[in-house]
Amino acid sequence: MAENYTQYPNQRSQFISLKPNLLKIFMQNLSKVFGALSLISIVLLLLNYFVGLDLFLDIFKTFGVEVSPSRLLLNAVLAVIGILVVSAAINYAVTRNIRYEFYQNKIVVHENKFLIAFVSKEIPYQNIVRVSYNNGGISNKLFNSGTISLETTGMKESKIELKHIDNAEQTVKEVQNLIQQFNHQRQGISSEGEKIEKILDDF
């Protein structure tokens, strides 16, 4: 039987299912494409200015292939675009099914493994020893996103990362509050149990 999701005042919908922001991931990948193209263009221009592209053309000529400088430049740019597009498509395929579900006593992480396997793992709150976030970097600052880190004990993985999360700082606070609520309830149940046990011992 599935457990009920923990209620959040005015923010219940945010934590029913927390997912990476795919639009921001796409925009980040797009910015990387433009950055890579700009860098390659600058490198090629510098090579052409200081060395000349004839050096590379001679390499093709040894294999009997005639290539013009403009064609060489175009092919290099197209090759980089192709690699980056494939990389972005793989990144999307990996992240589109990722989600994090918050229950009363655990987090359930759903993620892809090797593009084809979809796996789920449970992280009990009592195994989480620290929750932190990292929103450093230009892309995180620009898109107001970040990575949330869950440091655990007694589990196979010592750290689990929730990447590309909107408003990471605020989200961390909510996760910390949820874990604190669980710990308080757990301590309360333990105290009640000890009281009942003491009363029974007195009889």
Coil, strand, or helix at residue 17? Answer: coil
Q: Is 203 helix (H, G, I), strand (E, B) or coil?
A: coil
Which stretches of the chain score pLDDT less than 50?
1-14, 200
Does domain 99-202 bear CATH number 2.30.29?
yes
What confidence tens digit (pLDDT) does each residue in 85-139 have? 787 777 777 777 788 998 888 899 988 776 666 788 899 999 999 999 998 877 7
DSSP string, 97-156: T-EEEEBSSEEEEEEEETTTEEEEEEEEGGGEEEEEEE--SHHHHHHTEEEEEEEESSSS
Tokens of residue 86, six digits? 């494939």
Confidence at residue 10, expressed as pLDDT on a 0 to 100 scale = 41
What's the length of the chain?
203
Question: Strand, helix or coil at 24?
Answer: helix
Q: Scanning the structure block, which residue is given the tokens 């090759």?
A: 79
Q: What is the pLDDT of residue 55?
A: 65
Which pLDDT score is estimated for 193?
A: 53
Structural domain boundaries in the chain: 23-95, 99-202
